Amino acid sequence: MASVLNVKESKDSERTVVVAGLPVGLFIDQLLVILVKKHFQDIKNEGGDVEDVIYPTRTKGVAYVIFKEKKVAENVIRQKKHWLARKAGHTELTVSHFSDKIFSSVNAILDLSVFGNEVTLETLVKDLKKKIPTLSFSPLKPNGRITVEGSFLAVKRLKESLLVRASSFLEKNRNFTSEGRKWNRRNPQKNLQRSNNYLVSVRTLVPETARNGEMLVLDTDIFLYLKHRCEFYESTLKKFHILSEEKIDGEITTIYLKNFQVGSQPNNAKHVKELIEEWSHALHLELRKETFILKGKENREKRMIKSACEQLSSRYRGVLTSFYRTHIDIIGSSSDTYLFKKGVMKLIGQKVS
């Protein structure tokens, strides 16, 4: 199985694009490579000469396409829509710039315990695997937790699907509880205890904001940059009188939107959701992420790296610097992150790799 290292080791990463959304299990890998290569060589798709297609990779449904010319890669990315051949069911592809820190693959830990017993959960997982084959699922743990890995768009689709299911279960159980009060009068507390506990569990998964508003899922890095480096986010919420509730769960962030002002237009939350999705998609294509690893380094070297990052943060306002115990993430445009990294390396006396 090929990996991103094949591209990293090449000096021509600027000629490489990341292609996500490939149909998994529909064709043998060799045939899918031929279809991808044919698509990106077609001039109708702003394509050109393809040097290589790296597939399969460590992420299901994701391939790396290396063009012979940088200009062709740029043209392909500018093309808004890419649909694979009719043989592949006109599958829509997501094409973005290559980066060793590209936001193409994420991990998420999901708690499915609110959906029922172990037998029901096994059935649920099988259904999800069939529905979104591009995701990799770890074995289901006894506590109902499971780890999934795949493209951000696939994980986003999964989480949205689960939230819809949870909302549906909540409504069904609310009706069940209502009916239960009518015919379980002999010992209502005992008979409804399990149902009420279940409702509490589902409500933790689906906040009140989501049940009466709009919900969207973003890559956490994209969300943090949007919130802390783009005035658009807060100003848009304020302009349309929207209350937001944000839940960061590892590499995935879920945002719940709801009108908070009486008399506001009922479609305001939906409109703001669409605006945020458009903005985040643009950031997804533009941003690059670099990481300084602190784990395993001497305390003196850690302090030097932190100090250098703090010093440069005031100079590069467009770069988001996030400090963690084991590492430091910097997120910004390709040029800004490169110059930021170069500046840090210079300040600590190292050469830029």
Predicted pLDDT at 212:
66
Predicted pLDDT at 185:
44
Any idea which fold 13-97 has?
A: Alpha-Beta Plaits (3.30.70)
259 with 242: CB under 8 angstroms? yes
- Specify the amino acid at residue 170: L
- The domain ranges of the chain are 13-97, 106-175, 213-286, 288-347
Question: Over the Cα atoms of the chain, what is R_g?
Answer: 23
User: Is residue 252 scored above 70 in pLDDT?
Assistant: yes
Architecture of the domain delimited by 213-286: 2-Layer Sandwich (3.30)
As beta bridge partners, residue 253 has 218, 248
User: Is residue 177 scored above 70 in pLDDT?
Assistant: no
Please indicate whether the domains covering 13-97 and 213-286 agree at the CATH topology level: no
**352 alpha-carbon distance from chain centroid:** 29
User: Is residue 103 scored above 60 in pLDDT?
Assistant: no
DSSP string covering 68-135: SSHHHHHHHHH-S-EE--GGGTS-EEEEEE--TT-TT-EEEEEE-GGG-SHHHHHHHHHHHHHH-TTS
Report which DSSP code applies to 23: P
Which region among 173-187, 244-258, 266-280 has the lowest average model confidence (pLDDT)? Answer: 173-187
Predicted pLDDT at 76:
92
User: Is residue 92 scored above 50 in pLDDT?
Assistant: yes
**127 alpha-carbon distance from chain centroid:** 21
